A and B are shown apart, each in its own frame.
Chain A
Amino acid sequence: MDTLKNTRAQMRKGLLELCLLSIADQKAVSPTDIISSLKEADLIVVEGTVYPLLSRLKRLGWVNSEWQTLEDNPARKYYSTTVEGRNALQELSSTWQQLSTSISSIINSPVLS
């Protein structure tokens, strides 16, 4: 049970990074924007998951953050991908494409005897 939970969490963690990069690549986004996209896609359970991942991507130099103020609202931090982040995103998404094709071919194919 614990192992299953662990495996599932590991799988999701790697893929969430890919999703985060891809969301932050289209335009500068606030953590709130990221959260709503991920929630819409049913990828996260609690919102807190996003923050450590975002911080990790920042430490890797894949995303940058800057403060922006919209009208009367207090300043908010916006994240966007760096050049390295964009390269990483390309690599990761092509890895994901390959993996998903390979894996579904294994999972869905009947066992060969």
Chain B
Amino acid sequence: MKTTVNINLGGLPFVIDEDAYNRLEQYLKTLNTHFAQTDDQDIVDDIEVRISELLVERMTSGHIVNLLQIEGVISTIGTVEHFGIEQEEKTTSKRKTFARRQSTSILPMKPGKRLFRDPDDSMIGGVCSGLSTYFGIQDPIFLRISVIVVAFWLGFSYAVIPYIVFWILLPAAETDEDYESLQGEFTTAKDYSSTISQKLKARRLLKDPLYKKPEQSK
């Protein structure tokens, strides 16, 4: 004897075994979590519709959906890892960051937030812009001016020596995750949204060898 559940999938009613139901629910949950990052409920809705169609194809009417049929449908649609390239890119770059972190983890800071130099937005070594981003200062120009003021006020060495020390100690931010941890915003399924990913997209564009960087005047 088995418990069955009544469900509505893509506008069609199904009677489904409890274990099959659990498997289906788990699958849909994984999809939901994954696509929560892209803010697109449409994807999961469309997939639900597809699942219902595939189930109809596999069933003789009046029968109860079982685990085997659900597994069949899932393998036809595939799991998130098999959908495309996005996931793979992410794991490779994470691996890279992890390897780098192990070798260059000087200056351990707050968990989730780390200091980097920002070579994408630099006048000399990207120290000021890295520090500004880390402390949430909008524009690195304030820090740059302060450094110059200190240099003239207290003497040149008071500004230049700390700058060089930072330059040597701080690793340059390379991967997207580096930039994220510089800003202290960590990639969780939900956090990876609007502003930060837009910033990263702009960065990626700048890094693209096909994109011509506008000439920077010093």
Q: Are A9 and B92 in contact (CB under 8 A)?
A: no
Q: Of A45-53, A81-89, A95-103, which stretch is located at the interface?
A: A45-53
Q: A6-B88, A54-B46 are in contact. Are A48 and B53 (CB under 8 A)?
A: no
* B53: contacting residue among A32, A45, A52, A58, CB under 8 A: A32
Scan residues 8-52 of chain B and give those whose CB is less than 8 A from a CB of chain A: 10-12, 35, 38, 40, 42-43, 45-47, 49-50
What interface size band does chain B fall in? 20 to 34
Contact assessment for B88 and A46 in the assembled complex, using a CB-CB cutoff below 8 Å:
no
In the complex, whether B111 has a CB less than 8 A from a CB of chain A is no
Contact partner of B84 (CB less than 8 A), chosen from A2, A52, A74, A75, is: A52
B71 CB to nearest A CB, Å: 14
Secondary structure type dominating chain B contacts: helix
How far, in angstroms, from A31 to B53 measured CA to CA in the complex? 11
CA distance A52 to B35 in the complex (A): 9
A9 and B84 in contact, given A74-B11, A74-B12 (Cβ under 8 angstroms): yes
Q: A74-B12, A76-B49, A77-B49 are in contact. Are A48 and B78 (CB under 8 A)?
A: yes
- The answer to whether B49 and A52 have CB atoms under 8 Å apart is no
Any B CB within 8 A of the CB of A55:
yes
User: How far, in angstroms, from A13 to B76 measured CA to CA in the complex?
Assistant: 19
CB pair A46–B78 under 8 Å, yes or no, is yes
With contacts A9-B88, A31-B49 taken as known, whether A52 is within 8 angstroms of B38 at the C-beta atoms is yes
Sorting the interface of chain A by its residue count into under 10, 10 to 19, 20 to 34 or 35 or more gives: 20 to 34
The docked-state distance in angstroms from the alpha carbon of A74 to that of B56 is 13
Contacts of A31 in B (CB 8 A): 46, 49-50
Q: Which B61-90 residues sit within 8 Å CB-CB of chain A?
A: 75-80, 82-86, 88-89
Contact (A6, B12) CB under 8 Å given A49-B84, A55-B38, A76-B49: no
Contact A47 B50 (CB under 8 A): yes
Q: Shortest Cβ distance from B194 into chain A, in angstroms?
A: 13
- Are B92 and A47 neighbours in the complex by a CB distance under 8 Å? no
Task: Judge whether A74 and B10 touch: CB under 8 Å.
Answer: yes
* A 56-85 binary contact with B (CB < 8 Å = 1; else 0): 001100000100000000111100000000
Listed in ascending order, the chain A residues whose CB lies under 8 Å from chain B are 2, 5-6, 9-10, 13, 31-32, 35, 45-49, 51-55, 58-59, 65, 74-77
5 nearest CB pairs, A to B: A46-B78, A74-B11, A9-B85, A48-B78, A48-B83
11 A-B residue pairings within 8 Å (CB atoms): A9-B88, A10-B85, A13-B85, A32-B53, A46-B82, A47-B77, A48-B77, A51-B47, A51-B83, A52-B35, A55-B43
